[in-house]
Structure 1
Amino acid sequence: MVIIKNSFRSGVILSLSSGVVALQGFLFAWVGELFRVTFNLGLVVNLYRDRCLNIIVGALLFNLEFTISIGIRVEAYCLLATIILGSMSIGSILDSLGNFILTSHRIDAQYRWIIESAAPSIISRMSVFEPLETGIISVDSLIPIGRGQRELLVGDKQTGKTSIGIDSILNQKYGLLLCVYIPIGQKASSIIEVFLSLVIRDASFYVSLLVAAASLSAVYQFISGYTGSFLSEFFMLSFEIPSFLMLDDLSKHAVAYREIYLLLRCPPGREAYPGEIFFVHSRLLERSSKLSTIFGGGSCTSFPVIETLAGDVSAYITTNVISITDGQLFLSLELFLSGVKPGIDVGLSVTRVGSAAQWNGMKILSGLYKLELAQLVELQTFSQFAAELGIETIYRLARGYILLEMLKQCNGSPIKLPQQLGILSLCNQDIVRTINVDHVQALLQSYYSVPQWVIIIVPSRIVSTVLI
């Protein structure tokens, strides 16, 4: 790393607070540039002018191991910030700056990746057509997700948002898809719990965990989202393979940036968030794409998470991220408390890719199920006020209850595609209509125990008849 020492590339600290500094004295600077204060490294994130038209540089300080104070000289590097990446990043735990916390590989620095590198252009991309199998039957059948898509997970606290992402990671076992999980602002105990669940299920060898716990400062929580995004982009471009990125969650990432922005004494906007918060998240999620075969054919699929309050999807950060992503999975607290897990609201959930990223067999079986579930909600409301119900209404209610019961799924138990197709085909069988709703889960557990080669060869009707 080359350091340029002259009067044009040096300045002094104007203000200092919680790792956020304002610098003055630079004649020119650029966003993403590195600088040094004694033995501490920093990153430029904002440029503006004061009343005297002097350039004020807003920057973030890392590894605050040495005491600094206002007025200390700052020397800028003529380099952009980079992180060291390579194959050793797979199956490792990293911090917000890409340093290794725990790894089972020999650390061999192979590449330097610029944090502020340009996102893939429109010409280098292609339409999303490959399905991303999450292992959750209600998602794969009703709201299909493709490789290269940005699908938002939105819902209240404790509604199963993280569980959907973890199940999607577990379902990629023995598949050519590398996963990056970034818990932003989460409790350390929750992060350890997620990591142990991956280790127990032997899924940690294809997952990179980038930790930014709640105990860390807002600087590390803010930069961790970009470090993880560039890590998944590195897998997509260098290894030319599909990657999966889960950001849990962006609402805490926005709060961290709001704290940094207010410490820089910049004017706040709506809900005290800065006006450029939309650009912050769009710059983070625009790297998710499906590359054309000319550029390797890799892909990066993003699952950003947003936590709502009392199911309010019209909040500032929520509406911003919804406009950036290609669809959203809305998790309803009412469905979750009523026992429907995952509690996905079919009416509010949508995917803008549609059935283009869905297997043809799944299209045939799940074509009308979303409409039936939407009609079930209306029929439930109608049946509360009707004294006598017609035969057709009773039949649709019974069929809807059975379908809803079949879509229930426990955490940490992803279902493979052949079993999903078999379960969906059971909904059209006459034998299932005669079963009580309370016995559906017992039938499904018996169906899961049947080997997959039997399900592929033997029709689902015969298998279910034997199980009953």
Structure 2
Amino acid sequence: MVLETPLSDWISGARDRLEQTRLAPELEQVGRVEQIGDGVAHVSGLGQTRLDELLRFEDGSMGMAMTIAEDSLGCVLLSPYEEITAGSRVFNTGTIARVPVGDGLLGRIISPLGEPLDGGPPVVAARYDPIEKPAPGIVDRDLVTEPLLTGLTVVDAMIPLGRGQRQLIIGDRKTGKTSIAVDTIINQRDTDVVCIYASIGQKSSTVSRVVESIRAHGAIDRCIFVVGAADAAPGAQWITPFAACSIAEYFRDRGQHALLVMDDLTKHAMVYRQLSLLLRKPPGREAYPGDVFYLHSRLLERAAKLAPDLGGGSLTALPIAETQAENLTAYIPTNLISITDGQIIVGQKLFYEGQKPAVNVGLSVSRVGGATQAKAIKSLAQSLKLDYAQYLELEIFTRFGAMVDDKTARTIAHGRRLRAILAQPEYQPLPLSLQVALLLAISDGMLDEMPLPDIPKFREMLAQRLPSQRPNVVAEIDKTHALSDEARDALREFARSCADEFNRIHRAEGASGG
């Protein structure tokens, strides 16, 4: 090949052309706000925008494309938008919404976009992950085989959870749903589980109360709080659970275990309905858009136990939903019940009667956790369920003043003490060894003669003495989750001696008028 010009001139010309290319201006699409209000904006002039792409407004506010038409698009706003007006300029960013992930988020309170809300420095991210990611495929998943202990006897014994499960907590307003989730987070203080709490549309005072309770009783340095507050933009509330899920997946994909609490998906569905109607999506049942089921299913399907060749990590999801007048047949509750692997139903009547946590054992179910239940408690829980079911059935007759025989009276008295054992103070989850000791005591009838009001005092006595007087048994059960014959005998003997001493002390106090 013969060059018509000298090689040096050709190289010099190539350099000039490259420099001109570098300095050439880049074309940038600029759109205009046609209409804005209630957390959404209608934008024109951005014909190359992709769905879920981030948009930047001229005042620095951020939005995300939610609907795309031929000549316009609907954008949900993710940050305050007081300075945006009709005619304001809008720019493509070329990227979809992402959230920072990594160990640098531990102990922090952040917004769905990763902005610090705790007054601390900017978060240090390992990387930025999309807030929406596909769920693991079937071949990438493994069986749920490890228990996730909540520290609540009524849950661990009757509605057990497994790592990688999706368990719905559902009930009326102000019945202790969040308390169950917070106790579960607190109980992970001595485990290897990283906890992520996603607050969707909650008041700032409610979020502060959750954070302070975990700070006081749990391991806050292994928790992350993702907050889409009630006064935040509706778009920020909408993406909150997705961002929190991406943060939790970072730990799961590294072979670790994560717990994700979403509080709550009822408000999330309402925010999505609000945004959809403002963007003119056709309404369906109860005015929710037709894809609201897909909205939550693609979110909750991301919870999984991964196969060993992918690290064996797990992501357990505890979504919370609110009912009205305990109506489980409403649209959103039925959607979530059908998506999840079981539900913990809390009852208003039980709550006001003082039975806390107010779990309705008859309606609640765990469709996975039974196979993962800790062996130390599994053998005791079988008779526990039967005894409790018999008690609930017989108790109905006593409400009408019906006469009962001695055997029925004993069954009812035993059931009342069982129910007292299942009640627990807030923020005080019990270690597995103490739960086993209590269940051994109730199953062997050690508490049948004990006055009902004294049951909580007896539990405190066991909690104080068990770690110091039977440390080897406690260490074995809490570490292996198993109950050997020797440990069973030792716990039974310990519980019986404590019950005898407790009854003797209180009889003496009664005789002396103390």
Tell me, yes or no, whether TM beats 0.5: yes
Matched, 1:40 2:56: no
Q: Counterpart in 1 of 2:287?
A: 272
Shift in Å at residue 37 of structure 1?
2.4
Aligned Cα root-mean-square deviation (Å): 2.1
Note if contact 2:185-2:218 (Cα within 8 Å) is conserved in structure 1.
no
For 2:421 and 2:79, the matched residues in 1 are separated by: 51
Corresponding residue for residue 111 of structure 2? 95
Please point out which of 389, 408, 412 is paired with 1:397.
412
Aligned pairs for 1:49-448 (under 5 A) are: 49=69, 54-64=70-80, 67-102=83-118, 107-201=123-217, 203-237=219-253, 239-385=254-400, 387-448=402-463
Distance 1:104 1:62 in 2: 21
2:496 aligns with 461
Q: Residue type matched to 2:251 in 1?
A: F
CA distance in 2, matches of 1:88, 1:354: 32
5+ residue gaps, structure 1, are: none
Farther-moved stretch of structure 1 (281-290 vs 452-461)? 452-461
Residue identity matched to 2:398: S
Aligned equivalents of 1:218 and 1:106: distance in 2? 23
Code of the residue aligned with 2:41 in structure 1: it is V
Deviations 1:264-309 (A, max 9, x none): 1222222221111111111221111111111111111111111111
Work out the CA distance in 1 between the residues paired with 2:274 and 2:26: 32
Shift of 1:402: 1.1
Give the Cα separation in 2 of the matches to 1:310 and 1:66. 38
AA aligned to 2:98 is T
Instruction: Sort the Cα spacing of 1:104 and 1:36 in 2 relative to 1 into closer, same or farther, 3 A.
Output: closer
Q: Distance in 1 between matches of 2:256 and 2:387?
A: 37
Counterpart contact for 1:447–1:467, Cα < 8 Å: no
Which has more helix, going by share of residues? 2
- The one-letter amino acid paired with 1:236 is R
Deviates more, 1:12-21 or 1:289-298: 12-21
8 A contact 1:429–1:461 mirrored in 2: no
Q: Percent identity?
A: 35
Mapped contact 1:198–1:204 kept (Cα < 8 A): yes
Deviations, residues 48-104 of structure 1 (Å, cap 9, x unaligned):
x4xxxx254222223346733334443323322222222110111101212122377
Q: 1:35 deviation in Å?
A: 2.2
The residue identity in structure 1 corresponding to 2:258 is S
Q: Which range is displaced more, 185-194 or 78-87?
A: 78-87
Contact 1:91 1:104 in 2 (8 A): no
Cα separation, partners in 2 of 1:67 and 1:362, compared to 1, 3 Å: same
Equivalent pairs counted in the alignment come to 458
Moved more, 286-295 or 446-455: 446-455
Counterparts of 2:42 and 2:383 in 1: how far apart (Å)? 58
Letter in 1 for 2:439: L
Instruction: Give me the whole-angstrom Cα distance separating, in 2, the residues matched to 1:446 and 1:318.
Output: 41
SS in 2 for 1:79: strand
Distance in 2 separating the partners of 1:432 and 1:119: 48
- AA of the residue aligned to 1:233: E
CA distance in 2, matches of 1:5, 1:66: 30
Equivalent residue number for residue 451 of structure 1 = 466
State how far apart, in whole Å, the 2-side matches of 1:65 and 1:308 are: 32
Contact 1:32 1:45 in 2 (8 A): yes
Deviations 1:375-423 (A, max 9, x none): 2222111334574322332221111111111111010101000000000
CA displacement 1:123-145 (0-9 Å, x = unmatched): 11111111001000100000000
Q: Distance in 2 between matches of 1:398 and 1:104?
A: 54
The answer to whether the 8 Å contact 2:101/2:247 transfers is yes
For the structure 1 residues 453 and 5, does the alpha-carbon distance in structure 2 shift closer, same or farther, using more than 3 Å as the test? Answer: farther
Decide whether the 8 Å contact of 1:447 with 1:464 is kept in 2. Answer: no
Structure 1 range deviating more: 310-319 or 192-201: 192-201
TM-score (norm 1): 0.92
SS at match of 2:465: coil
When normalised by structure 2's length, the TM-score is 0.84
Aligned to 2:3: none
Q: Deviations over 1:115-172 (max 9, x none)?
A: 2222211111111111001000100000000111111111111111111111111111
2:41 corresponds to: 21
Q: Which stretches in structure 2 are left out of the alignment for 5+ residues?
A: 1-24, 474-486, 504-514
Could you tell me which amino acid in structure 2 is paired with residue 208 of structure 1?
A: I
SS at match of 1:131: coil
Determine the C-alpha separation between the residues in 1 that align with 2:272 and 2:425: 35
**Counterpart secondary structure, 1:300:** strand
Q: Of the two, which has the highest radius of gyration?
A: 2
